[in-house]
Amino acid sequence: GAGVSQSPSNKVTEKGKDVELRCDPISGHTALYWYRQSLGQGLEFLIYFQGNSAPDKSGLPSDRFSAERTGGSVSTLTIQRTQQEDSAVYLCASSFRTGESPLHFGNGTRLTVT
Amino acid sequence: AQKITQTQPGMFVQEKEAVTLDCTYDTSDQSYGLFWYKQPSSGEMIFLIYQGSYDEQNATEGRYSLNFQKARKSANLVISASQLGDSAMYFCAMREGRIQGAQKLVFGQGTRLTINP
């Protein structure tokens, strides 16, 4: 399809394990975002990539969270030593450019840390 | 700090009626953007409408319009002639800063809209 693709759709992991979440943005979209949606905190910005510029990591909640974007396309969000409070839906979004271009979201990865 | 307030956790509306979803915001920035997104039960966030802080006219997109009252810092979403498929969570969000900037959106808590047949 032509939309933002995220995998896996669901992930259950044990506390303390590392997880990787993947995002395939819409082809041609230069901006890529990760957001987190949880019951207690609502929707929160995590990190932003724009082209080859250094990512804006200002929303990452701790140094256990990191993300990379290879070749200006696919992005991976990694959470190390997962904690129960990391349980949430992780949403990836992309846009053609910054500013007022609407974000196109994927269906998210539901992460459950037991 | 930015803040978005959606005071209606849930709303129930009869099909074909118009509905207004409230959103107020707080920012000290002169340049900002306001967005509305719809999230059906499938989980996908769907962009509905955008209003820039310097736009003089209210934004419209089909059955959606944004009632932008800058002095009152409100950006209410109006859905005309509601349909059963409009049942979903609706989020108001704000981007603070210049229009070319990143969409580091701050979201409200959402309003769950249910359309009754």
Q: Which residue among B52, B91, B110 sits closest to A100, beta carbon to beta carbon?
A: B52
Sign of CA dihedral A55, A56, A59, A61: positive
Residues of B in contact with A56 (CB under 8 A): 102, 104
Pick the more confident residue, B99 or B55.
B55
> Which stretch of A110-114, B54-58, B93-97, B98-102 has the lowest confidence by average pLDDT?
B98-102
**Rounded to a whole number, what is the distance in Å from the CA of A108 to chain B's nearest CA?**
7
- The per-residue pLDDT for A4 is 95
Q: Is the pLDDT of residue A76 over 90?
A: yes
Find out whether B102 and A56 touch, Cβ atoms under 8 Å: yes
| CB pair distance less than 8 Å for A89 and B104 | no
To the nearest whole Å, the CA of B79 is away from the closest chain A CA by 19
Distance separating alpha carbons of residues A32 and A79, to the nearest angstrom:
18
Separation CA B83–CA B39 (nearest Å) = 15
Look up residue A21 and give its two tokens: 């979440």
**What integer pLDDT is reported at residue B16 of this predicted model?**
96
Lowest mean pLDDT among A87-101, B3-17, B21-35, B90-104: B90-104
- B102: closest CA among A54, A31, A70, A59? A31
Average pLDDT of the residues of chain A: 92
Average pLDDT over residues A69-91: 94
Minimal CA separation from B38 to chain A, in Å: 11
| CA angle centred on B24, ends B44 and A41, rounded to 5° | 50
CB contact under 8 A, B104 and A48: yes
Residue pLDDT, tens place only, B72-94: 999 999 999 999 999 999 999 99
Contact A99 B110 (CB under 8 A): no
Q: Where residue B103 falls among pLDDT bands split at 50, 70, 90?
A: confident
Strands (E) in chain B, as ranges, are 3-5, 10-14, 19-21, 24-26, 32-39, 46-52, 60-61, 64-69, 74-79, 88-96, 106-107, 111-116
SS (H, E, C) chain A: CCCCEEECCEEEECCCCCEEEEEECCCCCCEEEEEEEECCCEEEEEEEEECCCCCECCCCCCCCEEEEECCCCCEEEEECCCCHHHCEEEEEEEECCCCCCCCEECCCEEEEEC
How far is residue B67's CA from residue B83's CA, in Å, rounded to a whole number?
20
pLDDT for B99 equals 56
Mean pLDDT across chain B, nearest whole number?
A: 92
What does the pLDDT look like over A2-15, one tens digit per residue? 799 999 999 999 99
Residues of B in contact with A57 (CB under 8 A): none
Choose the mutation target among A43, A47, A60, A98 for the interface with B, i.e. most B CBs under 10 Å: A43
Helix/strand/coil for B85:
helix
**Dist CA A6 CA B79 (whole Å):** 30
Q: What confidence score (pLDDT) does residue B63 get?
A: 97
Is residue A72 predicted with pLDDT exceeding 80?
no
- Return the pLDDT at A100: 66
pLDDT tens per residue, range B36-81: 999 999 888 999 999 999 998 999 999 999 999 999 999 999 999 9
- Average of per-residue pLDDT across A94-100: 76
What was the pLDDT predicted at A102? Answer: 84
